Each structure stands twice: as C-alpha cells, then as structure tokens.
Amino acid sequence: MQSDSHQHSSAPAADRQPAVLHLVQPVDGGVARVVTDLVRAQTRDGLRAVVGCPPGGDLAAAAREAGAEVHTWRAGRSPGPALAAEVLGAARLVRQVRPDLLHAHSAKAGLAGRLAVRGTLPTVFQPHAWSFDAVGGTTAALALRWERLGARWADRVLCVSEAERRAGEASGITARWTVIRNGVDLDRFRPGGGDEQAVARAALPLLSQSSPQGPLAVCVGRLCQQKGQDVLLRAWPEVTAHAPTARLVLVGDGPDGERLRRSAPPGVLFAGAAADIRPWLQAADLVVLPSRWEGMALAPLEAMACGRPVVVSDVSGARESLPPGQAQLCLVPPEDPTALAKALGRLLSEPRLLDTLGRQVQEHARTEFDVRRTAAAVTGLYHELLGRPRPLTEEHDSR
C-alpha cells in the first residue's frame, strides 16, 4: 500500500458541503446506473453532485433527473489519438466546476481525469473492472503499465469487490485501496405482488407471442465481448436437450448484436435495449450472465433483489454476489459453454429448486446489497479524504 500524502490546492470551507465531480465514460449500462444512484443519494444529502460525461446514452438525462448538475465531456470508450483532447477537456471542466473532489469512473475517465489533475485535487478512481482484462497483447500491457503509474494520482482506488482489489494487487498495482460493494435500489427491484411472473410475461409481447411456453432464462447486458452472450448461445442447444421447452431472451443492445443474431440457435429471442429491465427480471425463471470479466455486475444483484436465481461465470465479484452455498449450482467457469449448459439445464428442469434458490437470493440481496449502504460508504470516503468527520450512520464494507 502507498503511504505518501498528496498536497492538494484547497479544501472545502467548513461551513458548506463539498462539490464532487463525477467524470464518467461509458454513459450506459451498469456504470451509468451506479453513478446515477450515487448522485441521487449525494444530492439528497446536500452535496453538490456534478457529472461530466459524453452526450448520448442514458447517463446525462438520468443524472440530471437524480439532481446532478451535468456537463458535456467529450470522450470515447477506447484509447487513441483523441486522448490529448480528452485530457484538456477534463482539465477545462475541473476549472469550470471547481470541485472539492474528483471521482473518475472506468478506465477512460480514470486515465484522462488523473492526467488532468495529477494529484492537485483529492481524487477517487473507480475502475468498474480493470481495463487490462478487456484487451489483449500490447494494448493490455500498456493499460496495465498506465494503471501502475496512475495509481500515484489517486488518493483512493475504489473497488466494487474484494476480488477486483486482489486482481489489481496481483497485477502489481500499488494503491491506497477501498472496497465498497455495489448495491441496488431495493424499492425499485423487488418481487411484485401476486402472480407477478405471469403478469410480466403477458405484458411483454415478445414472450406472449412466442412458443413453447416453457421455463424462461433471461440474460440482461450490453451485447459485447465482456458479457459473454456468445458463450451462452453456444451452450443453448445443449440446454434445450435437457429442457426442450426452455426459452432464452437476450435483453440489451451493443456492438455484437448483429453477429449474435446471426449465430443464435432457433428459439432464442432478442428483446433489444430496455428502458426498464424489471419486467424482464420478473418474467424470468432465472437470470444468466456469462461474463468474461467484471468488477461486480449489477444485473445479478438486481435479479436477486427481484427474487430470481442467477447463474454467473466465476469472474470478479461473482462469488461475493451469491448467497452462501449457491456457488456449486450457480457459478461456472468463464468461457465454458459445457459447464454453463449443465448448470442451466439442471435448474430449468427443476422448478422446486428454482423456487428455493429464488427465496434465498431475495433475502440475501435485501440483506447485503442495499444501495443506500453503498452510497453512504462512498460519501464517508469523500469526507475522509477531505478531512471531515463522517456521520456515524455511514460505514465502509471493507478497507
């Protein structure tokens, strides 16, 4: 762990709440939902929450609705020739907003934000999964080299799971670490009253018009290499050999959408992007996410809060997400379609087991993954870095 201290240019006045600039790329998916939940809680607690993000996607509108001040910061997902302009844009935004603390989310914002500030402002970097896991070859080596260097310009590297932190340490990143697990809005993600599954299925035309009407697996996530839908499609014919009436729906859109549609076996349905994923979670018998890498994925937490069992690949955060005792049934090696098919085929063939697992995951999610606890811990970290006392109700999940 690093122990040297940064010299910051200023601290917030004792008589006002601090201003926090969330610098963010990407603008959709789990990262956008995490940031939106944070700024909603921070605004409610009296902080000045500011979001700098690219146009498009879901984040700008959602953050504004949650009470944040939103500014445009033009940045792409991938590194490239535009980096210098992205760093300058981040520096201009910092001068304009004059935040007391910078919270940079994901690899691109972490790169541009830390280069723009270079330790002159208290800085939290939250990787939301390590960038060097997402690429290969020279690009991965450069990404890892940067993360090792850039850690010196983060007062805290905030990981969403212990596994993510351990992966960073094992890769040679020397940082001041904090682990605060992701959480979900338990008022939004909860089982419906009565026969909510039948109601949800009837309200979704894609389902009500499809046949057969057997058990339903749902995969929610951006259609991209990270989320591993291609592995799921390779596994699905073997699943239906065990559970012939089983159905699969992929909810989401992304760069791999057309390729996945071309390779999908018969009976797989594509729902496209959904503004509200709750009806799909409530319609499902189980939710599957065969990711290649994660920090701690939100979709399984949201599914569990709705009382739906999950099958997930054994990447960072997955074991920490599941209730004790479910790993044997619900955790599979990444990129292993045979193991995935075996797990899905068994569960989709045993409705009583699914019911039991569903009750367990619902209780587990409501006990362990309340977003209010997550947001309070993040705000507590801010107060710590700014030299202010934390409210006694705030707590960190791990240090």
Q: Which residue has the tokens 């797989």?
A: 268
| Per-residue pLDDT in tens (0 to 9) along the chain, 399 residues | 443 444 565 556 555 789 999 999 989 889 999 999 999 999 999 999 999 999 988 999 999 999 999 999 999 887 778 999 999 999 999 999 999 999 999 999 999 999 999 999 999 999 999 988 877 788 889 989 999 999 999 999 999 999 999 999 999 999 999 999 999 999 999 987 657 788 888 888 888 777 767 899 999 999 999 999 999 999 999 999 989 999 999 999 999 999 999 999 988 999 999 989 999 999 999 999 999 999 999 999 999 999 999 999 999 999 999 999 999 999 999 999 999 999 999 999 999 999 999 999 999 999 999 999 999 999 999 999 999 654 433 333 443
C-alpha 21/C-alpha 51 separation (Å) is 6
Helix (H) / strand (E) containing 92? helix 83-97
Asked if domains 19-183+370-385 and 196-368 share a fold, the reply is: yes
Rounded alpha-carbon distances, angstroms, from residue 20 to 47, 73, 303, 333, 379: 7, 15, 30, 39, 10
**Residue 105 token pair:** 């989310």
Domains of the chain, residue spans: 19-183+370-385, 196-368
Helix (H) / strand (E) containing 288? strand 286-289
Q: In the prediction, which pLDDT does 17 show?
A: 81
Helix (H, G, I), strand (E, B) or coil at 21: strand
Q: In the prediction, which pLDDT does 391 show?
A: 47
C-alpha 223/C-alpha 268 separation (Å) is 14
Q: In the prediction, which pLDDT does 161 show?
A: 97
Say if residues 182 and 369 touch (Cβ distance below 8 Å): yes
Q: What is the chain's Cα-based Rg?
A: 21
Say if residues 23 and 93 touch (Cβ distance below 8 Å): yes
DSSP alpha helices (H): ranges in 133-195? 137-150, 162-170
Our measurement of the distance from residue 278's CA atom to the centroid of its chain's CA atoms, rounded to an integer in Å, reads 16
C-alpha 200/C-alpha 215 separation (Å) is 14
C-alpha 67/C-alpha 65 separation (Å) is 5
Q: In the prediction, which pLDDT does 223 show?
A: 97
Closest CA to 103 of 87, 127, 84, 76: 127
Q: What are phi and psi of 28, to 5 degrees?
A: -145, 180
C-alpha 85/C-alpha 90 separation (Å) is 9
Q: How many residues does the chain have?
A: 399
**CATH class of the domain defined by 19-183+370-385:** alpha beta
DSSP 235-267: HHHHHHHHSTT-EEEEE---TTHHHHHHHPPTT
DSSP annotation of 130 reads: -
**CATH class of the domain defined by 196-368:** alpha beta
